[in-house]
Amino acid sequence: MTDFNVHITGETQFSLLHQVAGGDETAFKQLVDLYWLRVFRNILALTKQTETAQEITQDIFLKIWQHRDKLLEIKDLMAYIYVLGRNQVFSAMRKKLLETVDVGRGQEDFAESRNLPELELEYKETWRLIHQAIDHMPPKQQEVFRLSRIEGLSNQEIAQKLNVSNSTVKSHIVAGLNTVRVHLATSGGDHVLLYLLIAGWELYAARQ
């Protein structure tokens, strides 16, 4: 797993986020200085394209600034940045897909454009394998995992919804992640997006 750790104490991070949330541009610049290179390197490792990685990294920090009023609700900044990065990579993939279809081209060219880009194919195959793995989980584990990783509910929200303890929810998620990881390994999955999803899920699970 790529290292997302930045040497900054929790107290310092909270103070910095509090200033950014209040609209302090100087604090925001400090935040960018602290995290930019590490975020960029991770996005670059996923996209393999410097220009794309630069654009996505810029978009990530732009979204942080645009939604700065939500910063004080964040428990783990790097987990939050991971989610933003994942979403931006997927958006870039969808954009690339749309750009391959030029409505002004002839029928023959259009037919050729139906051959999806490699990343889009990888995206579809990744999720096919993940859903396949989820289908192999025991019923309760499957329910918890879907609520967590597909619907995006927090551990506490799942615990309240299912009337179980937080520790029970976490146990199901950890077991579910292992099921997915094993299934992907035995299925021959070797994709960048698999790394992105599983690494991010494990990072998030570890810090719940």
Of residues 152 and 133, the one with the higher pLDDT is 133
Confidence of residue 177 (pLDDT cuts 50, 70, 90): confident
pLDDT at 181: 81
Assess whether pLDDT exceeds 80 at residue 118: no
Percent of the chain with pLDDT over 70: 69
Dist CA 146 CA 133 (whole Å): 11
31-35, 135-139, 144-148: which is most confident: 135-139
pLDDT at 194: 58
**Three-state SS sequence of 66-106:** HCHHHHHHCCCHHHHHHHHHHHHHHHHHHHHHHHCCCCCCC
Assess whether pLDDT exceeds 60 at residue 6: no
Of residues 136 and 208, the one with the higher pLDDT is 136
Q: Which domains occur in the chain, in start order?
A: 10-96 (1.10.1740.10), 116-206 (1.10.10.10)
Of residues 99 and 146, the one with the higher pLDDT is 146
Confidence of residue 22 (pLDDT cuts 50, 70, 90): very high
Confidence of residue 191 (pLDDT cuts 50, 70, 90): low
Both structure tokens of 202: 């494990």
pLDDT at 77: 80
Assess whether pLDDT exceeds 50 at residue 111: no
Nearest Cα residue to 151 out of 138, 167, 136, 162: 162
Average pLDDT of the chain, as a whole number: 75
* DSSP result, 115-160: S--HHHHHHHHHHHHHHHHHHTS-HHHHHHHIIIIIS---HHHHHH
- Report field, pTM of the whole predicted structure over 0.75: no
Confidence of residue 154 (pLDDT cuts 50, 70, 90): confident
Dist CA 31 CA 171 (whole Å): 34
Assess whether pLDDT exceeds 90 at residue 137: yes
Convert the pLDDT of each residue in 43-54 to its tens digit: 877 777 777 888
